[in-house]
Amino acid sequence: MGFLRSSSMFSFLLILVLPFSWPTPSSSSANTHEDFLRCLSSSLASNDSSSISRLVYTHRSSNYTSVLESTIHNARFITSTSPRPLVIVTPLHVSHVQATIRCSKRHGLQLRTRSGGHDFEGVSYVSESEAPFVIVDLANLRSIDVDVENEVAWVQSGAIMGELYYAVAQKSRTLAFPGALCHGVAFGGMISGGGYGLLFRKYGLAADNVVDAEFIDVNGRILNRESMGEELFWAIRGGGGGSFGIVLSWKVKLVRVPEIVTVFSISRTLEQNVTQLLHRWQYIAGQFPDEMYSSITIATTNTTVDGRNLTVVATFTTMFLGRANELVPLIQNIFPELGLTIQDCNEMSFVESILVLGMLQNPNENLEILLDRSYRISFLVATPSFKSKSDYVKKPIPEIGFQGIWSQLLEPEARAATLNFVAYGGVMDEISESAVPFPHRKGNIYEISYNVRWPEEDNVNSQRYVSWMRKLYSYMTPYVSKSPREAYVNYRDLDIGKNNDDGHTSYAQASLWGRKYFKNNFNRLVKMKTRIDPENFFRHEQSIPPYFG
């Protein structure tokens, strides 16, 4: 009976997968694909009775495209020429993940792991290699168990940040988690790169607050912190996703927040001395108390109805763990030039500040929007394709440096471009660079993320926008960190270097990008990769490579 059931599953899969919408594979390649599907269907049949149509999607599945694109957040990779996976597996529990790893490895197929699809270069769901690949999409593995009494939570990798914030808020107004601001970012990808947000100057990164994990290695073993050992546990907390195995869930510490926090956003243009304000902000950002998150978003805006008068606008945003009557005199003392008044401030709960600063909606409206995985703010809907880069600033940029930025922001390609400055300092200065693989700690005044966006229909002209971004990035060279020029792995950028398509990349080649993301921690990550996955099964364009002798 089991054989008949497994055979019927395989027949179903084979009908779905042939013919392919990409170039027809050779008979040898087709046999490999068939063998993979037979292996997968047999494994799934022997493990549980879940409907195969709920787990496996091929090119012939009617909803293959909708599943593939459901969590693609960069439409630059939704084109007719974008590589597509042979199969998408959407596991419902751990045995499905184990089966996919085992069958992909056995039949020589590459494997990409996607938790939320926010990878800036799409490496969790596309591949520059011509080899066929499989996606394990963790969106169904999204359970959250909040333990208020012990101030911890178990969170599966497919859960989005909004789901965690909502779950915690339902049980406590004074507990939170120091994760990403964007509600739709999935937990697994965010924490694999470090993860910072509104609370990181007070409590550190998301990765700094992980106390255990459930992990599947290349051999399908399920490991926790004790069984995997401290070195591997160190590597998965900020060493980048897709390199060591698949983390199914994370046990994290929850942190204390007051019942009321204060938020303000103040915008100033070039005509309102924004250059001088930005220059001054750099010198006092490090003086902000740990309880304060401070960022600046820089863009362009039209000052006339006909849109002919374009100028630069900077929005100064703060979230403070306290009341407005505490915040206002503090800002008036150290940053009087901003002109903050009590009328500029709004008091609310911490979870409501996620809604406001995440540009979701009015805080007085329903928190259920945090659970909407498909929600996009209008700006992102209009310009879903983008290219991003990142930098770290250790010395204040002179005013003349900002003048050069303004001239580039006023170019036509930059109509939907933004620069985001996020103040560092606080507890980040006190945590060692080697505490987790994320090394960007003491000595950084702020981080810059650069983003240029364009409409999906303009993807044919994407190189125009990418070239603009590269030009701005080159201009910034004298003003940012050096040797290496540091970058944040969660703002992935393949321009800074990538691995070879064949899976064999030298340590020297990988160091070109690896040290920018991880500095001296890169060597330790390579040693762990060599130990846990020496054949480099888990790999992508910027995965940690093993040593090849």
Q: Which amino acid is at 26?
A: S
| Torsion sign across C-alpha atoms 161, 163, 166, 172 | negative
Number of helices and strands (H, E) in the chain?
A: 17, 18
Question: What is the SS3 assignment for 71?
Answer: coil
* Residues 519-539 as b or e (16 or more Cβ within 10 Å = b): bebbebbbebbbebbeebbbb
For residue 81, the 8-state DSSP code is: T
Q: Side by side, which strands form the sheet with 110-114?
A: 56-58, 87-89, 133-137, 110-114
Rounded to 5°, angle at Cα 467 from 464 and 186: 95
- Kindly state the helix (H) or strand (E) to which residue 263 belongs, with its residue range: strand 261-269
Kindly write down the DSSP assignment for every residue of 357-408, as one continuous string: HTT---TTS-GGGGG-TT---HHHHH--EEEEEEEEESSPPPHHHHHHHHHH
CB 448 within 8 A of CB 421: yes
Q: Which amino acid is at 116?
A: G
Q: Given the DSSP bridges, would you call strands 210-216 and 133-137 parallel, antiparallel or unpaired?
A: unpaired
How many Å apart are CA 279 and CA 224, to the nearest integer?
47
For residue 484, say if its preceding peptide bond is cis, omega within 30 degrees of 0: yes
For residue 160, the 8-state DSSP code is: B
Report, as residue numbers or ranges, the catalytic residues: 491
Q: Side by side, which strands form the sheet with 210-216?
A: 144-147, 152-156, 246-253, 210-216, 222-223
For residue 442, the 8-state DSSP code is: T
**CA distances from residue 76 to 54, 190, 193, 453, 459 in whole angstroms, order as listed:** 28, 21, 22, 10, 6
Rounded to 5°, angle at Cα 400 from 397 and 402: 60
Quickly tell me which residue has 């929600």 as its tokens: 375
Say which residues have a Cβ less than 8 Å from residue 9's Cβ, sequence separation at least 6: 41, 42, 44, 45, 52
How many Å apart are CA 370 and CA 355, to the nearest integer?
8
